[in-house]
A and B are shown apart, each in its own frame.
Chain A
């Protein structure tokens, strides 16, 4: 993508981001109940104290001014104070982000590692028994509710077989110095292979649960893209050149088939963000998703507001990444 096209694409983001902020703002502004009441709870504050607090939070301003204030603050990463934690929302959220990124990346890599080979093999053996089996498996994968799969996985692999821990990211005995916040990285940096394996064991089930539906989806996309690629004239010509079957399938067909696959993978990573809430709740994974779910039930609206905005912005940026990857992989549209 050349700089001009990229700049154009970035400009298009502005109205979308504005609209997203407006929706997130109004979601919270229209919430029934007074945030000050929620914040102070049952504490004995005088009406004057309450009024002062309202003014402090800008709740007495007209709606449009409150929105502008919200926008200005959001751009600076300022989302107020978490009711529950009595700390800045940005700090509370920042703490949780590495765990969520680690889980999401692991799920995405797993999905790619399972989905792409599955799709390639199914396409090459089209209508054979492997293809039929893969079709059934991918249909099950996209039809399975993730939280249910997670619960079953815990029952079978953790509780019954004892292969994996039931919840959390790492055992209490391991101490890992903070570098990136992603334990798989930090344990390696600290040179603690035992802790690394422990973190990996904790990550295995949640990442599998989260990545399962995406693996199924990627397998279907890869399969149909491969079938399409293998039908093309350039495959016949590659055969006529005397290339090996492996090179024809894995280079000539796959490089073209990966264009839609990688695009879908980038977009679907955004969907994984949504799945995080469920999976983190099921596996007690201390990430952003679980924070949001907790915040909803404690009516900790500043956290919910900031997190929803963060998720949406990340999702939009991932779509941009998908576009850029598409042009990079596809020489024909490279400008």
Chain B
């Protein structure tokens, strides 16, 4: 990576006060996304992957808050930005799609209203209602919705699951964002439609040259569509690097566990081994390596805090047993 990255997160810590104490949902995360690049972020639910990018967008709900760290977008620190400036960024330069379009789209408004209000909020279209409508039609056509003119006036529940997901993507790319955060874009979908939606996202990225973050609990989804991958566990990044390299030769035991816990189409005879144990209590994570209680390779030294180590070739891992 030679040029300054589009998005650069350093030492991000996002906390939620709870009755059990302060939960560090994100605890010292470093991530970079270059312009036009696709970064996959993988982890179980509760790993902090979604909260990390809610923090980027300023969508952390009080009493949750960003406690430390910096988030640079295009070189500018946006972590402490006032609400208005953040709002201008959201849906404009940084857009997001959510897991389930059925709940993310407002059931009480037509698709047209929901696209046009986004365009209006960012004043991206010159001209009046007719120009806005034309842009909306164009957007629906771009995401591959047949007969966009007549579907514009319909409500979300009148679309099929896959089509709804396309509508949501159309809204997200409406203002030509430079970074698109796709949060679990396939989880709510049928297997047959998953590939179509991923291909659509890839096509949109290729067309516009935007950077993309693909958040998923499924390494397979990430493997086929992302240049680089970051694996998160317990609010921290435990391994990152070029996707191919990480999958071919994972350096962190958790990444290895993730790979073993999913079917491998190239080697169907290989047994599926789920990761034993449970994710740590977020209010009281184990000292030292957070994965230690579940790690088959844990040994002495693992109870001391461990930093993300640079392994060269763009790779890094957070494990004491990995030599640089």
- A interface with B by C-beta (< 8 Å): 232-234, 236-245, 247, 251-252, 255-256, 259, 329-332
Contact = CB atoms under 8 A, between A and B. Distances in A.
A244 B118 CA distance: 10
Contacts of B107: 234, 256, 330-332
Interface residues on B, range: 20 to 34
Contacts of B121: 241-244, 247
A251 to B, nearest CB: 8
B226 interface: no
Contacts, number: 78
Interface in B86-141: 87-92, 95-96, 98, 100, 103-109, 117-118, 121-122
Contacts of B92: 242
Contact of A240 (B57, B88, B117): B57
Contacts of A240: 57, 59, 90-91, 95-96, 98
A236 B57 CA distance: 11
Given A243-B117, A256-B106, A237 B168 contact: yes
Nearest to B83: A245
Given A238-B106, A255-B109, A331-B155, 12 more contacts: A234-B105, A236-B98, A237-B106, A239-B59, A239-B90, A240-B96, A242-B87, A242-B89, A242-B92, A242-B122, A243-B87, A244-B121
Given A233-B98, A237-B168, A331-B157, A242 B90 contact: yes
Nearest to B108: A255
B90 A233 contact: no
Given A233-B98, A332-B155, A241 B117 contact: yes
Given A237-B168, A247-B117, A242 B91 contact: yes
B171 interface: yes
14 contacts: A232-B103, A233-B100, A236-B98, A237-B168, A240-B91, A241-B95, A241-B118, A243-B91, A243-B121, A244-B87, A245-B83, A256-B106, A329-B108, A330-B108
Contacts of A330: 107-108
Contact of B104 (A234, A245, A247, A256): A234
Nearest to A240: B96
